[in-house]
Structure 1
Amino acid sequence: MNPQDLERLVTLPMPFGKHQGTLIADLPGPYLAWFARVGFPPGEIGRLLALMHEIDHNGLSDLLEPLRRRG
């Protein structure tokens, strides 16, 4: 993970699926957990979804608030 990954979580919308258009940082925990069970997609989006899952699962979502305020 690099600092740019955290910035991407609060600026990149989900490009497909049920929550298309929702910022990755705003995706519901159960949706992220579903990806963790069935497998994350390849590429950057999968890497970011996995990172957001870890952040959400460990209760660290508040760490993204300063980045949200900056944007």
Structure 2
Amino acid sequence: MELFPDRKKLIELAHYKMPYGKYKERYLLDLPEAYLIWFQRNGFPKGKLGEHMKAILEVKINGMEGLIRKIREDFPADTR
């Protein structure tokens, strides 16, 4: 775990959307925690999506949703 996260990675995380399924096109941050916990138990997808889902679950568990929402607000997607 990094102590000094990369700014670009945080901005990407804030803007990342679910690419498929019931929650398609929703920001990962807006996924229900229970949905993320299901993936934690059954296996996250491979690659960037899985890594972002793991990170968002940690954000939710630690009550830091506001920080990610603020990043999304302060750094619009078109400036990534």
Question: Which structure is higher in RCO with an 8 Å CA cutoff and minimum separation 6?
Answer: 2
Q: Which residue of 2 aligns with 1:5?
A: 9
Q: Distance in 1 between matches of 2:51 and 2:40?
A: 11
Give the TM-score of the pair, scaled to structure 1. 0.85
Q: Which residue of 2 aligns with 1:30?
A: 34
Pick the structure with greater CA Rg.
2
Q: Residue 19 of structure 1: SS of its match in structure 2? A: coil
Alignment: residue pair count: 71
Q: What stretches of structure 1 move > 3 A for 4+ residues in a row?
A: none
Give the TM-score of the pair, scaled to structure 2. 0.77
Instruction: Provide the identity percentage.
Output: 34
CA RMSD of aligned residues (A): 1.4
Q: Distance in 2 between matches of 1:47 and 1:2?
A: 14
Q: Which runs of 5+ in 1 are unaligned?
A: none
